[in-house]
Structure 1
Amino acid sequence: MLSLTCLGGAGTVTGSKHLLTSGDTRLLVDCGLFQGLKNLRELNWEPLPVAPRSIDAVVLTHAHLDHCGYLPRLLLDGFNGRIHTSAASRDVAELILRDSGHLQEKDADFANRKGFAGNKPALPLYTEHDALRTMQSFTSVPWHQPVPLPGDATLTLRRAGHILGAATAQIDIAGTRIVFSGDLGRYDDPLMHDPEPVAEADYVVIESTYGDRLHSRQDPTEALGEVIERTVLRGGTVVIPAFAVGRAQELLYHIWKLKQGGRLKNVPVYMDSPMAINAGSVFQRHPDEHRLTHYDSVAVGAAATAVREVEHSKALSANRYPKVIISASGMATGGRVLHHIAAYAGDHRNTLLFSGFQAAGTRGRKLLEGAREIKLLGRIIPINAEVQELPMLSAHADSNELMRWLSGFTRPPRKVFIVHGEPEAADALRWRIKQELGWPASVPLQDRSYSL
Structure 2
Amino acid sequence: MMDIRVKFLGGAGSVTGSKFLLTVDDYNLLIDCGLFQGLKELRLRNWDNLPVDPAVIDAVVLTHAHIDHSGYLPLLFKNGFNGEIHCTEPTLDLAEILLMDSAKLQQEEAEFANRKGYSKHDPAMALYKVQDAIDVLSAFKAHPFEKTFRIHDHIEVRFFHAGHILGAASIELKIYTSQGIKSMVFSGDLGPMHSPLHVAPADPPAADVLFVESTYGGRNHRHQNLEEELRQLITESDEKGGCILIPAFSVGRTQLILYYLWKIFQNMKSRPVYVDSPMAISVTRLYKQYSAYHRLEGDSEFGHRIFDAPFIHYVREQGKSKVLNTIRDKAIIISASGMATGGRILHHLYHRLPNERDTILFSGFLPEGTRGRDIANGEPMVRIFGEQVAVKAKVHVLDGLSAHADQDELVEWISHIKEAPKKTFIIHGEKEQAEVFKTRLQGRGWNVIIPAYLETFTLFDHV
TM over 0.5: yes
**Residue 392 of structure 2 aligns to a residue in which SS?**
coil
Aligned pair partner of 2:49 in 47, 72, 92: 47
- State the match for 1:8 in structure 2: 10
- Structure 1 residues 396 and 118: CA distance shift in structure 2, 3 A: closer
Counterpart position of 1:107: 109
Specify the SS of the correspondent of 2:424: strand
Corresponding residue to 1:390 among 398, 419, 425: 398
Partner residue, 2:354:
346
Superposed CA offset, 1:138-157 (max 9, x none): 11112112101135211110
- Residue aligning to 2:92: 90
CA distance in 1, matches of 2:109, 2:226: 34
Match of 1:287 in 2: 291
- Residue equivalent to 1:201: 207
Q: Does 1:217 align with 2:223?
A: yes
Residue 273 of structure 2 is matched in structure 1 by 269
CA shift, 1:337, in A, is 0.4
- What is the rounded CA distance, in whole Å, between the counterparts of 1:359 and 1:264 in structure 2? 35
Of residues 172, 183, 189, the one that matches 1:183 is: 189
Q: Distance in 1 between matches of 2:235 and 2:168?
A: 33
Letter in 2 for 1:202: D
Q: Per the alignment, in what secondary structure is the counterpart of residue 170 of structure 1?
A: strand
Distance (whole Å) between structure 2 residues aligned to residue 298 and residue 400 of structure 1: 31
Partner of 1:161: 163
Deviations 1:192-232 (A, max 9, x none): 11100022100000000000111122121221221122112
Supply the RMSD in Å over aligned alpha carbons.
1.2
**Is 2:367 the partner of 1:359?**
yes
Deviations 1:153-193 (A, max 9, x none): 11110000010000001111243211000000011210111
Report the secondary structure of 1:331's partner residue.
Answer: coil
* Residue 239 of structure 2 is aligned to residue 239 of structure 1: no
Q: CA deviation at 1:263?
A: 1.8
SS at match of 1:293: helix
Matches within 5 A, 1:369-448: 369-435=377-443, 437-448=444-455
| Shift in alpha-carbon separation, 1:206–1:263, aligned structure 2, 3 A | same
Q: Secondary structure at the match of 2:304?
A: helix
Q: Quick check: 2:276–2:344 contact (8 Å CA) kept in 1? A: yes
Gaps of 5+ in 2: none
Deviations 1:294-349 (A, max 9, x none): 88353221242101111110000122233110000000000000000011100111
| Post-superposition offset of 1:117 | 3.2
1:329 is aligned, of 337, 359, 365, to: 337
Q: Distance in 1 between matches of 2:222 and 2:40?
A: 31
Return the letter of the residue paired with 1:139.
K
Figure out how many residues of one structure are paired with residues of the other and give that number: 449
Q: CA deviation at 1:257?
A: 0.5
CA deviation profile, 1:224-274 (whole Å, cap 9, x unmatched): 2211221121101111000000100000000001012x2242x21110011
Which segments of 5 or more consecutive residues in structure 1 lack a partner in the other structure? none
Amino acid corresponding to residue 106 of structure 1 in structure 2: E
CA distance, structure 2, for counterparts of residue 351 and residue 132 of structure 1: 38
Give the distance between the partners of 1:289 and 1:77, measured in 2 at CA.
34
Q: Evaluate the alpha carbon distance shift between residue 425 and residue 119 of structure 1 in structure 2; reply closer, same or farther with a 3 A threshold.
A: closer
Contact 1:88 1:164 in 2 (8 A): yes
Distance 2:317 2:238 in 1: 25
Partner of 2:198: 192
- Report the alpha carbon displacement of residue 94 of structure 1 after superposing the two structures with TM: 0.8
> Contact 1:53 / 1:78 at 8 angstroms: preserved in 2?
yes
- Asked whether the equivalents of residues 182 and 207 of structure 1 are also in contact (C-alpha less than 8 Å), the reply is yes
Contact 2:162 2:189 in 1 (8 A): yes
Taking the aligned partners of 1:414 and 1:74, their CA distance within structure 2 comes to 32
- Describe the SS at the equivalent of 2:296: coil
Give 1:119 shift: 6.0
CA contact 1:318–1:343 (8 Å) conserved in 2: no
Contact 1:57 1:150 in 2 (8 A): no
Q: 1:27 touches 1:57 (CA, 8 Å); kept in 2?
A: yes
TM-score, normalised to structure 1's length? Answer: 0.97
Corresponding letter in the other structure for 1:439: W
> In the alignment, is the contact (CA less than 8 A) between 2:238 and 2:329 conserved in 1?
no
Question: Residues 296 and 304 of structure 2 are in contact (CA less than 8 Å); yes or no, is this contact kept in structure 1?
Answer: no
Which segment drifts farther, 217-226 or 251-260? 217-226
Contact preservation (8 Å) 1:56, 1:150: no
